[in-house]
Amino acid sequence: MTSRGMLYLVPNGLDVGTGDAGADLGERLPLGTLRVAARLGHWVCENAKTTRAFLKRVDAVCPLARPLQQIAIVELPRPPKGRPDTATFEGDRLLAPALAGEDIGLISEAGLPAVADPGAKLVAAAHSAGIRVVALPGASSITLAVAASGLNGQSFAFVGYLPTEADARAARIRELEAASRRMAQTQVVIETPYRNPALLGALLAQLQPSTMLSVSVGLTLMGESTRSDPIARWRAGPATLPTDVPAVFSILAR
């Protein structure tokens, strides 16, 4: 019986799509992670184009074991927009190289695969197939933001994106604030960068004056910043958030 390969969860930099995206990847990710990435010949990803760009950056630090043109890159299936995803997940097809004894890399568009990322389905399929899963070290904007916030890092929940429709978003913000107060738990949300100012405005409008809000902008990038203040102080001196750099928003009701 052919021994099975492994599924490596390879972190990407947090600078994808920003002005820092051309920076030395050795300044963003551990050398051991880059060495593993350089030797892998099979990848599963969200976007093949950005994965090739990632591998070119890896090659500048740790030469790839084979030419980029010979590396197999397969994209995860995209769920239908606006409709429930009822398609059967083709884990066996995506994991075929590992089932045949070859190692596979799973990569996200930014940060850690399978965290706030559709790659979790592939990881679950690997476990079901008896394929060893290895998560490689690298930055996660969620944990970096919680650490930098000064809010409760002993108990926090990542709740992803909020509704874009104003009334639904306002209701969700109030719901998260109530949960934070009830459980003394930090609530962490993210938004598409161009909506950062709109989300900040909604948070300032809906949260109570004593609630703490922390906003981390451009984590791991040049000029990264984190501001943690009560809502009352945010309202007295509101910030202007960029529309082209990722931000993470953390809430703790007091």
Amino acid identity, position 199: L
Domain ends where: 135, 158, 181? Answer: 135
The residue out of 135, 161, 187 marking a domain boundary is 135
- The more confident residue out of 15 and 122 is 122
Q: What pLDDT is stored for residue 19 in this prediction?
A: 60
**More reliable by pLDDT, 227 or 221:** 227
CATH assignment at residue 55: 3.40.1010.10
Number of domain units in the chain:
2
Which residues contact residue 236 at a Cβ distance below 8 angstroms, ignoring those fewer than 6 apart? none
* pLDDT tens figures, 51-91: 999 999 999 999 999 999 999 999 998 765 555 555 678 88
pLDDT tops 60 at residue 222: yes
What CATH code is carried by the domain that includes residue 165? 3.30.950.10
Task: Domain of residue 237: give its range.
Answer: 141-252
User: Cβ(137)–Cβ(9) under 8 Å?
Assistant: no
Q: Do residues 127 and 17 share a domain?
A: yes
- The predicted pLDDT at position 73 comes to 97
| Residue 248 lies inside a defined structural domain of this protein | yes
**253: pLDDT strictly greater than 60:** yes
Same domain, 212 and 153: yes
The answer as to whether 173 is a domain residue is yes
20 has pLDDT over 70: no
Closest-CA residue to 94 (of 50, 125, 54, 71):
125
Q: Is the pTM of this model over 0.85?
A: yes
H or E element, residue 214: strand 212-217
Residue 1 lies in a domain: no
Same domain, 18 and 127: yes
Same domain for 146 and 130 = no
| pLDDT of residue 22 exceeding 80 | no
Residue 17 confidence (pLDDT): 66
Sign of CA dihedral 28, 15, 117, 139: positive
130-139 mean pLDDT = 95
| One domain for residues 113 and 20 | yes
